Chain A
Amino acid sequence: MAPQTSVIHDIGYQRYTGPRLGRWYANRSLYEHSVRAAFGIGRGAKAKIFPWAIIGIVLLVAVVVIAFRSISGETLMSYRQYASGLSYPVMLFLAIVAPELVSRDLRDRTLPLYFSRPLARTDYALAKYAALVTAVLGLLAVPQLLIYIGAVFTRTDGWHGAWKELGDLGPGLGTTLLRALVLAAISLLVASLTGRRAFAAAFIVGVFLITSPIVGILSVLGNDTIKSLAFLANPMFLMLGLEQWIFGVENNNRLPIGDYGPVYGIAALILLGGSVGLLLLRYRKVAA
């Protein structure tokens, strides 16, 4: 046989010299992919069960509200009450989705794949955060809009009524947005600490579940100041206090926060900023 010589064959391979869709496109793709992953789209049936079960619950409540309104003409719950009253399903949703978004990448060690692309570490964290916020917004805002449409059809005062109804919807959507921003930040931070999805879910629920009775305990002890500030201990109650300060009291469901509204505002800001900041810090330090 003839001696073999080493040669590189020319099979027409060329370097790509066309336009590259840099960092912005990478970010957008990660964001889109994460939103889809949150709802189990593009994955098997099993990934859809848990998130869509929650969606089913919130939609069911919305349908009941719409039906109640159309039958009796009275509001079962306002838009704001809808957003704050469904805090348990929202908490479960966060416990399911946040680990899907970040814990999986930690466990499967796919972070090097992301970071070897034109994607800064902070980009990754922010894209995931934006995706989770979007998911929670979708979860609550879509039913709220449905309730709005249902309400408008029930009302008898035409355009004027629709406009008035919008005045109620506005704070409702605002409540939803605030909750989405703050709660997603906390949940994502907790989830990013572990690669095991089950523990991340348990810890996220644990944070909400353990701090909730503490509010009750604190409001029994101590003087009036502590009673007013007790609600800072639990994220859900903190949001309630914040909303009361911004949007005012509704239906005489007053949360006894006294004059400490601004404190809730500052606390919410610190919680949000701190969580996002720690999240960014976490991904700057995590080994790729």
Chain B
Amino acid sequence: MNATVAMITTRGLLGRRRIWLLVPLPLLLIGLALIARATGAEPADWGEGIIGGLGFTAVLPVIALIVGTGVLGSEIDDGTITHILSKPLPRSEIIFTKLGVATGVTALFAGVPLFIVGLIAGDAAVAFALVVGAVVGSLAYCSLFVLLSVVTRRPVLVGLAYVVLWEGVLGNILTGTQKLSVQQYVQAIVDALAPSDLLHGNVAVPLSCVMAGVFTVASTAYAVQRLRTLSVAGETG
């Protein structure tokens, strides 16, 4: 981890307007949970919807996408990456630092509201399980999106296709693809840590842990590889 790269990445990420468009998402999660509590509905009824449906299926991937592609993708896009690359830094250090920042920010924006929602649903154990799930999910998603940033010129679109088509549509139709879906790993892990009616995992827990790890490590390693051979195009880019 490199403090200077972390500083530049964090300021680049948080200093722009776009990050404030992510703020409504955690507020939405917390707000809906409060409303649900106020209407007196049972957590078992609304838990699946808010935590699973909104939190893990929509909010976590979207935040991870915007943050994960933002930490590296925007620098490659506007050319400022040369200032980072033209230094005697190991490429692995650069990737780890950026991945760390991305995971941290994503886990913050997704994990904190999920923790609060877990408490509102009444169970501290569940709340902690949700945070763990959010962190694992942030790590896996962000490493995937950082890899996409190095490998392709349009990482957001490819990432969207992955989240919407692969995890969303196909994940619901073909159960086989669920074994290759970060979302499913997260749900399985949360369900294992704090079994409840709120969330149901569809993939075996050991497989989920292993696969989440594989996703993260493989994506990061490949991203480092590709960063070593990143070529800069001419002025038209």
Contact = CB atoms under 8 A, between A and B. Distances in A.
Do A and B belong to a common assembly?
yes
Nearest to A210: B58
Interface in A170-207: 198-199, 201-203, 205-206
Interface in B53-93: 53-54, 57-59, 62, 65-66, 69, 73
A202 B39 contact: no
Contacts of A217: 32, 36, 46, 49-50, 53-54
A5 B166 CA distance: 73
Interface of B: 18, 21, 25, 28, 32, 35-36, 39, 41, 45-46, 49-50, 53-54, 57-59, 62, 65-66, 69, 73, 154-157, 160-161, 163-165, 168-169
B169 A88 contact: yes
Interface of A: 50, 88-89, 91-92, 95-96, 198-199, 201-203, 205-206, 209-210, 212-214, 216-217, 220-222
B62 A209 contact: yes
A67 B18 CA distance: 46
A89 B163 CA distance: 12
B66 A202 contact: yes
B46 A210 contact: no
Contact of B65 (A89, A91, A202, A220): A202
Contact of A220 (B18, B25, B46, B62): B46
A88 B164 contact: yes
A214 B54 CA distance: 7
Contacts, number: 80
Contact of A201 (B32, B50, B156): B156
B62 A210 contact: yes
Nearest to A92: B164
B41 A206 contact: no
Contacts of B160: 92, 95, 201-202, 205
Nearest to B35: A221
Given A92-B160, A96-B157, A213-B50, A199 B18 contact: yes
Nearest to B169: A88
A91 B73 CA distance: 23
A210 B32 CA distance: 12
Please provide the 8 A-B residue pairs with the shortest distance between their CB atoms, ordered closest to farther: A213-B53, A198-B156, A213-B54, A217-B49, A216-B49, A209-B58, A220-B45, A221-B39
Contacts of B59: 210
A209 B54 CA distance: 8
Contact of B168 (A88, A220, A222): A88
Contacts of A96: 157
Contacts of A91: 164
B73 A198 contact: yes
16 contacts: A88-B165, A88-B169, A89-B165, A92-B164, A95-B157, A198-B73, A198-B156, A202-B156, A205-B62, A209-B163, A212-B53, A213-B50, A213-B54, A216-B49, A221-B41, A222-B39
Contacts of A216: 49, 53
B41 A198 contact: no
Given A96-B157, A221-B36, A221-B41, A205 B164 contact: yes
B161 A214 contact: no
Given A88-B168, A96-B157, A216-B49, 10 more contacts: A50-B157, A201-B160, A209-B62, A210-B62, A213-B57, A214-B32, A216-B53, A217-B46, A220-B41, A220-B49
Nearest to B156: A198
B57 A201 contact: no
Contacts of A88: 164-165, 168-169
Contacts of B21: 203
A199 B25 contact: no
A199 B59 CA distance: 15
A189 to B, nearest CB: 15
Nearest to B21: A203
B27 to A, nearest CB: 12
B53 A210 contact: no
Given A92-B161, A92-B164, A198 B46 contact: no
Contacts of B53: 212-213, 216-217
Nearest to A219: B49
A201 B36 contact: no
B109 to A, nearest CB: 13
Contacts of B25: 210
Contacts of B41: 220-221
